[in-house]
């Protein structure tokens, strides 16, 4: 007679009993978590005790600080340690929240990528949760005064869908405006504006003013449009190309390898009037070179 028929129910009951004990311990630990009352902007999730709670200033590598104003707008400023730039970070469902203490509002992002803020009593879990990741740090040990860690704030849910994947929005400060970037080329272009230095502090609102700048209109960093900007020569000749495309690249390529070009390339070379296009392109380059020399002045 097989003895396994009698031992199998005992093993099964032992596994079930162990599983029930583990589940009861997890539930009891989660129900006994206490939240610190001195930090008002914390929305803990999943009953975790190791909640990240900190007061901080978020400064980019381009020396802008993130501000959440009382009217709900979010901006960047060059003023140091303002009352509206004192922020508070907390954990929520394996993510992070950014809370403006003076404005009593959360930092949020719409599904379209627009940065805004919500009052504390209208917290939206879909819009106001980010993932903080350390992207860059100075060389040296943490005890070194020059040691810095920069973080990127990527939205947990919203982004641009490309096929089956979603490129999440990254928070950035550009031209004193809080924006989001998602594409890789934009993240590389605004790399200094998406890297935030998390500067922890123990300062209170009473010790901070609305602004520390003597003249914020002149001290604040802003986007200065280049009035003397001119398009590249190849862009100025786009009107000559079919479907709005420039023929300069094609014409230069065929001209360089004229004797090894195919018959089709030679026909297109003649059809697109490449001799005229290259002549105008060279004239444009000479004019740009002369203007550049005049701007520099005599050496």
CA–CA distance, 200 with 198 (Å, rounded to integer): 6
Q: Is residue 32 part of a domain?
A: no
Q: Which domain-ending residue is among 175, 192, 219?
A: 219
Q: Which domain-ending residue is among 162, 192, 219?
A: 219
Cα 107 to Cα 100, 242, 248, distances in angstroms: 7, 47, 47
Asked whether residue 245 falls in the same domain as residue 187, the answer is no
Under the phi-then-psi rule, with left for phi > 0, alpha for psi from -120 to 50, and beta for the rest, what region is 111?
alpha
Q: Is residue 19 part of a domain?
A: no
Asked whether residue 214 falls in the same domain as residue 250, the answer is no
Q: Which of 134-143, 221-230, 258-267 has the lowest mean pLDDT?
A: 221-230
Under the phi-then-psi rule, with left for phi > 0, alpha for psi from -120 to 50, and beta for the rest, what region is 290?
alpha
Asked whether residue 58 falls in the same domain as residue 181, the answer is yes
Cα 39 to Cα 89, 130, 150, 198, 293, distances in angstroms: 9, 19, 23, 17, 60
Contacts of 257 (CB under 8 A, 6+ apart): none
Q: How do residues 135-157 score in pLDDT, each as one tens digit?
A: 766 666 666 666 677 888 999 88
Quick check: 90 and 51 in contact, CB under 8 A? yes
Q: How do residues 58-67 score in pLDDT, each as one tens digit?
A: 988 878 889 9
Q: Any idea what DSSP says for residue 153?
A: E
Q: Which domain-ending residue is among 192, 219, 246?
A: 219
Number of structural domains the chain divides into? 2
Structure tokens given for 89: 């970070």
Q: Any idea what DSSP says for residue 140?
A: S
CA–CA distance, 39 with 100 (Å, rounded to integer): 12
Asked whether residue 194 falls in the same domain as residue 140, the answer is yes
Inform me whether the pLDDT recorded for 31 exceeds 50.
no
> What is the model's pLDDT at position 105?
93
> What is the model's pLDDT at position 215?
52
Asked whether residue 281 falls in the same domain as residue 172, the answer is no
Asked whether residue 124 falls in the same domain as residue 202, the answer is yes
Asked whether residue 81 falls in the same domain as residue 146, the answer is yes
CB atoms within 10 A of CB 80: 14
Q: Is residue 47 part of a domain?
A: no
Asked whether residue 160 falls in the same domain as residue 108, the answer is yes
Could you tell me whether strands 65-68 and 74-77 are parallel, antiparallel, or unpaired per DSSP bridges? antiparallel
The helix-helix angle for 248-256 and 274-296 (nearest 10°) equals 110
What is the chain's alpha carbon radius of gyration, rounded to the nearest angstrom? 30
Asked whether residue 209 falls in the same domain as residue 239, the answer is no
Asked whether residue 147 falls in the same domain as residue 275, the answer is no
CATH number of the domain encompassing residue 204: 2.80.10.50
Question: What domain range is 74 assigned to?
Answer: 54-219
Asked whether residue 197 falls in the same domain as residue 289, the answer is no
CA–CA distance, 156 with 124 (Å, rounded to integer): 13
Buried b (16+ CB within 10 A) or exposed e, 172-205: bbbeeebbbbbeeebbeebbbbbbbbbeeeeeee
What percent of the chain clears pLDDT 70, i.e. is strictly above it? 68
């Amino acid at each position: 007679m097989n003895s396994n028929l009698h031992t199998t129910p005992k093993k099964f009951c032992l596994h079930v009993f162990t599983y029930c004990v583990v589940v009861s311990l997890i539930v009891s630990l989660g129900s006994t978590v206490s939240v610190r009352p001195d930090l008002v902007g914390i929305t803990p999730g999943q009953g975790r005790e190791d909640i990240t709670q900190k007061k901080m200033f978020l400064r980019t590598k381009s020396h802008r600080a993130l501000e959440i104003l009382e009217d709900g707008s979010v901006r960047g400023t060059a003023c140091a340690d303002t009352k509206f730039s004192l922020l508070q970070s907390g954990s929520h469902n394996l993510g992070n929240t950014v809370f403006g203490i003076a404005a009593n509002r959360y930092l949020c992002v719409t599904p379209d990528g627009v940065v805004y803020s919500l009052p504390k009593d209208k917290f939206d879990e879909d819009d106001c949760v980010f993932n903080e990741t350390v992207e860059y740090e100075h060389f040296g040990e943490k005890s070194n005064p020059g040691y810095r860690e920069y973080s990127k704030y990527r939205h947990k849910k919203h982004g641009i869908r490309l096929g089956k994947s979603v490129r999440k929005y990254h928070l950035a400060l550009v031209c004193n405006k809080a924006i989001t970037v998602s594409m890789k080329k934009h993240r590389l272009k605004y790399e200094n504006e998406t890297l935030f230095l998390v500067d922890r502090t123990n300062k209170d609102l009473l010790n901070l003013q609305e602004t520390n700048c003597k003249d914020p209109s002149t001290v604040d960093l802003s986007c200065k449009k280049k009035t003397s900007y001119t398009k590249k020569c190849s862009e100025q000749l786009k009107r000559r190309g079919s479907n709005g495309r420039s023929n300069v690249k094609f014409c230069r390529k065929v001209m360089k390898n004229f004797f090894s070009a195919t018959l089709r390339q030679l026909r297109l070379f003649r059809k697109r009037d490449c001799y005229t296009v290259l002549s105008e392109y060279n004239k444009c380059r000479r004019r740009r070179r002369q203007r550049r020399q005049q701007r520099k002045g005599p050496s």
